[in-house]
Amino acid sequence: MELNFVIAQLLAVIGWFFLIYSYYKEDIHQLLKMQIIACSFETLSYLALGAWSGIFACLLDLIKAVLYYKSDKKSLIFFATLPFYVVLAIFAVQEEGWIALLPAIGGVIDGFVLTRSKTTATIGSIIASTLWVIYDVVVLAYAAAAADMVLITSNFFVLFLGYSRIMHIEKLHVIKCQYLTRNLSINILNLDRKNYPAQYLWSINQQRNIFKLNPDSILLIRNKKRIIGYINYLTITEESYKHIKRAQVFYRDISPESIVPMKRRRKNFLLIESICIDKSYDSDKMVSFILRHFRTFLRNRHKQGYNVHGIVSVAISDFEKEFLEAGNFAHIKDYRDGEALYELDDIAVAKYIKG
């Protein structure tokens, strides 16, 4: 048995271990970090075998994963890399025959689904891995083929666990937060840590101080007694509302002077501060679920005489952007660090409530 063959199998096992592990990461950036390591080992494995289409496909995947990790413009990167996959496909067919098309097709599928949600990325991985299994068997990359089979099985488990939660969304319920206890503040902070970078986190004291100023400000999403998400909205002054829309720099903290109680028979303006969900529940179905309840909340407030004349929100996470866009919020502008400002003006709010 040739030494290169043994080394190739060992490198493939290490690479695919990191790839399998990546799909258990809740955050898409952590997933990409693991895939960068995986691609490095896979490239070395195919190099040891002299499987040229595998080498170039892995190099493309490695470059793409690094770019995805460094930038939020994943769709632009995907389309920019497509011509290289076409070149790879032409070269591969000439060198190894039609079977060499499979890594290129797998790379395109994997690149596309990584611009979407984690669930879509997992489904795409199953399809792409199936193509790689066929290619690996033909080029004698048996360890890679075996690891691909494990990856496919592993991703089916990831999907099953995720869908088992998503399928039970109807068993979730949304309640108004009456008292912000310390334990509840800790739960909220733990959710925030999994969804936002450190610079956006509020301390427990900040949370509780803001809640005292505006106690009608949090809707909790619960699975039995467990908090799996929340919406934090604040009633702010009209001046603050206009200032947020005009400002070219994203505010990091909202000042106490900007927060006012919601009152009847006057113009009220809302700032949606956070829309946070446990990542294992992240899905289009969850977006619709929360939107439905938020619309009901606004409709009930309107019936009670609380008139909302505008809602603004700055989206930081992908889930927040999906929520606001699904709710027909207008995308006003992007800030330097990738945050995006959205608005529902008075006319849109009226339609939203009736909707």
Question: Which band of pLDDT confidence, cut at 50, 70 and 90, is reported for residue 272?
Answer: very high
Answer whether 83's CB lies under 8 Å from 33's CB: no
Tens of pLDDT, residue by residue over 203-234, are 889 888 888 888 888 999 988 778 889 999 99
Which of 8-12, 25-29, 277-281 shows the highest mean pLDDT? 277-281
Q: What is the mean pLDDT of residues 168-188?
A: 82
Question: 20: closest CA among 7, 8, 33, 38?
Answer: 38
Reported pTM: 0.58
Q: Which helix (H) or strand (E) holds 101?
A: helix 101-113
Q: What is the mean pLDDT of residues 160-174?
A: 59
- 344: tokens are 């529902």
3-state secondary structure at position 218? strand
- 335: tokens are 């800030």
- Render 223-253 in DSSP notation, one character per residue: ETTEEEEEEEEEEE-HHHHHHHHH-SS--SS
- In the chain, where are the structural domains located? 3-166, 170-354
Rounded to whole angstroms, the Cα distance separating 133 from 137 reads 6
Question: Which band of pLDDT confidence, cut at 50, 70 and 90, is reported for residue 166?
Answer: very low
Q: Other CB atoms closer than 10 Å to residue 291's CB: what's the count?
A: 18
- 27: tokens are 């955050």
Phi, psi of 174, rounded to the nearest 5 degrees: -110, 130
Question: 199: closest CA among 302, 85, 335, 94?
Answer: 335
Q: Which CATH number fits domain 170-354: 2.30.30.90, 3.90.1640.10, 3.40.630.30, 1.10.10.60?
A: 3.40.630.30
Those residues whose C-beta lies under 8 Å from the C-beta of residue 57, and which sit 6 or more positions away, are 88, 92, 103, 104, 106, 107
Which of 27-36, 63-72, 85-94, 171-180 shows the highest mean pLDDT? 171-180
Query: Residue 116 pLDDT more than 80?
Result: no
Answer whether 230's CB lies under 8 Å from 273's CB: no
**Top-confidence residue, 52 or 136:** 136
Question: Which band of pLDDT confidence, cut at 50, 70 and 90, is reported for residue 114?
Answer: low
- Sign of the Cα pseudo-torsion (283, 347, 339, 244, in order): negative
Name the E strands within 98-225: 173-176, 218-223
